[in-house]
Structure 1
Amino acid sequence: MPTFHPIAWTPDLEVGVPEVDDEHALLVTLYNDVVRATRQGVSRPTRDGIVRSLQAYAVFHMDREEAWMISHAYPDTARHRARHAEFRAAVEALYADAPDDAEHARMAALASFLRAWILDHIRGEDRALFDWIHDGCPNPLACAAE
Structure 2
Amino acid sequence: MPLITWTPAYSVGHPDLDQDHQNLVDLLNMLHEAWESGEDLAVRLGIVDELLMYTDYHFRREEGLLAEHGYPRLADQQAAHAALRQSVEDFRSRHLSHPDTALTAEIETFLKTWMMSHILEEDLQYRSLFAD
Aligned to 1:13: 10
Compute the displacement of 1:98 (Å): 2.5
1: distance between equivalents of 2:22 and 2:16?
A: 10
Q: Does the alignment pair 1:98 with 2:97?
A: yes
- 5+ residue gaps in structure 1? 136-142
Q: Does the alignment pair 1:68 with 2:95?
A: no
2: distance between equivalents of 1:92 and 1:5?
A: 23
Aligned residues: 130
RMSD: 1.7
Aligned to 2:51: 54
1: distance between equivalents of 2:19 and 2:2?
A: 21
- 1:33/1:50 contact within 8 Å kept: yes
Per the alignment, in what secondary structure is the counterpart of residue 90 of structure 1?
helix
Compute the displacement of 1:73 (Å): 1.3
Per the alignment, in what secondary structure is the counterpart of residue 95 of structure 1?
helix
2: distance between equivalents of 1:27 and 1:134?
A: 21
TM superposition score normalised by structure 1: 0.83
- 5+ residue gaps in structure 2? none
Q: Tell me which amino acid in the other structure corresponds to 1:37.
A: A
Per the alignment, in what secondary structure is the counterpart of residue 36 of structure 1?
helix
Q: Does the alignment pair 1:112 with 2:114?
A: no
TM superposition score normalised by structure 2: 0.91
| Structure number with bigger Rg | 1
**Hey, which bits of structure 1, 4+ residues long, moved more than 3 A?**
none
